[in-house]
Structure 1
Amino acid sequence: MTHDNPYNFLPLQPTGRNETDTANTYAPEDMIKIYEQQFLIPVPEEQLTEFLPALKSFYDIDNHTLDVSAIIFEAIADASIIYNHKIKAGRYQLLQGLVKEELKQGEDDQNDASVDGIDGNNSNDSEKAQAYTLECKRTFFINDVEIPYYFNLFIQGDSYSTLTKQDTLLEQMYWFVSDGDDDDERLAAINTQLASLGIQAMDLATIYQIVDFVEDHIIDDPMIETLNKLLDDAE
């Protein structure tokens, strides 16, 4: 490993040489870190052509070692790298029990979202299904910084909708995107909070992609299994 480190790469200790003895090999978790650094280190545009050769030289690795390690892609499958930011979904928490809702006339069909696996009362007729609400929290990580995301889950039959609060940083990002006004002051306020957490600034494209990821991962299979048990017990 060279001592020349112009990009502040993370120093790692190789475990030896690979099978063809052409480059150092690293433990799987270290290969993941090297792989992520390709995308997570901000590099000035005029240095882009120098960056990857510098990374390979610093870790003494070749193209084969860096590019074809299947273990890397398997290990980061639950995360997404979006414009120099890594985001992944963490654990969920149900903050209280199911609350039975009394629907007024015309509110039966207000939900247009559905999720496979939420059985409700095993009826596909949402007009006759009992409705419930549930306060929830999903933890997300941006560049390994833990950030909570609070929402109210409305369930009726096999349909659901979510109402996001506006307190935490991720929730503010959601409403910024939802409002669609691209206000410079709101964007600056979000980036100020990101900076306070040690997370680099985001532009509009990044925030929109982050919010898309959050919406796609707000409910997962383990959460659906838990919700189904709660709904079965409530019937």
Structure 2
Amino acid sequence: MTNNNPYNLIPLQPTGRNETDSGNTYSPEDMIKIYEQQFLTPVPEDKLTEFLPFLKGFYDIDKNTLDICAVVFDAIADFCIIYNHKVKVGGYEILGGLVKEELAEEEAEKDNEGNKNEEAQAYTLECTRTFFINDVEMPYQFNLFIHGDSYSTLTRKESLLEKTYWFVSGGFEDNLLGHLEDNESLESINEQLASLGIREMDLTTIHEIVDYVENSIIDDDMVDALNKLLDNAE
């Protein structure tokens, strides 16, 4: 490992040489750190072509080692890297109990005509899920609407992550309704991110993170807990 370290990479202790003795090997935990640094290290644009060879040289690894890092990262880590931002799913909390909801008349008629969900009851439930962006805790509170085997969510507009969701998902609708002043701007979101020590995001990054959040707010553990609540309610 070289002592030259202009990118402030983390010094790590190799566990030995690989099978062809062409590069160092590292523990799975350290391989994840190397993989993260490959994508999370701020690098000037004019240095991008130099950075990867430097990373390999700093840890004395070869291309195969980086490939293994990616496999290990996907296999044992519960977070992902989205355009230079590490996003991790945290725990959930169910706030209060199920609230029985009356279906709109047209929806009930539609169900009866199609003989689907004829006896299904609708409920709402307040929930929160914690996310981490670059290890900064970001709460995400939402109202869960459950009807039969289907569900939908309506997110609050209080925390920064919730405001970011509405910036992405509510922009078109608010534009039609003339409510743009209620939405955050890209500049204001980045100002709030910067105050938390999170680097700037462009529109593509914000869209990817919102998609990740929406796909991750309900997990298997939460589904099991919800099913128990629904069984008790029935």
- Superposition TM-score, scaled by structure 1 size: 0.86
Could you tell me which of 148, 155, 172 is aligned with 2:163? 172
Structure 2 unaligned blocks of 5 or more: none
Cα gap change, 1:109/1:26 in structure 2, threshold over 3 Å: closer, same or farther? farther
CA distance in 2, matches of 1:31, 1:220: 27
Work out whether residues 135 and 152 of structure 1, in 8 Å CA contact, stay in contact via their aligned partners in 2. Answer: yes
Q: What residue number does 1:3 align with?
A: 3
Residue in structure 2 matched with residue 195 of structure 1 by the alignment: 194
Query: How far apart are the structure 2 equivalents of 1:91 and 1:17?
Result: 38
Partner residue of 2:215? 216
Distance 2:6 2:109 in 1: 58
Task: Look up the match of 1:26.
Answer: 26
Structure 1 CA distance, aligned partners of 2:109 and 2:39? 44
Q: Shift in Å at residue 61 of structure 1?
A: 1.2
Amino acid at match of 1:73: D
Partner residue, 1:121: none
Alignment: residue pair count: 221
Contact kept? 1:92, 1:223, Cα under 8 Å: yes
Q: Report how far residue 127 of structure 1 moved.
A: 4.7
Task: Flag as ranges the 4+ runs of structure 1 deviating above 4 A.
Answer: 107-110, 181-185
Bigger relative contact order (CA 8 A; separation at least 6): 1
Change (3 A) 1:147 1:61: same
Name the CA distance, whole Å, in 1 between partners of 2:223 and 2:184.
38
Alpha-carbon RMSD across the aligned residues, in angstroms, is 2.2
CA contact (8 A) 1:126 1:159 kept: no
Q: Distance in 2 between matches of 1:158 and 1:146?
A: 31
Secondary structure of the 2:185 match is helix
Match for 1:163 among 144, 154, 159? 154
2:139 matched to 1:148?
A: yes
Name the TM-score, length of structure 2 as normaliser. Answer: 0.87
Residues 63, 196 of structure 1: CA spacing in aligned structure 2 closer, same or farther, 3 A cutoff?
same
| One-letter amino acid matched to 2:149 | D
2:4 partner SS: coil
Q: Which has the higher helix share?
A: 2
- Counterpart of 2:171 in structure 1: which amino acid? G
Work out whether residues 32 and 75 of structure 1, in 8 Å CA contact, stay in contact via their aligned partners in 2: no
State the alpha-carbon separation in 1 of the partners of residues 171 and 162 from structure 2: 14
Q: Could you tell which deviates more after superposition, 28-37 or 93-102?
A: 93-102
Residue 32 of structure 2: SS of its match in structure 1? helix
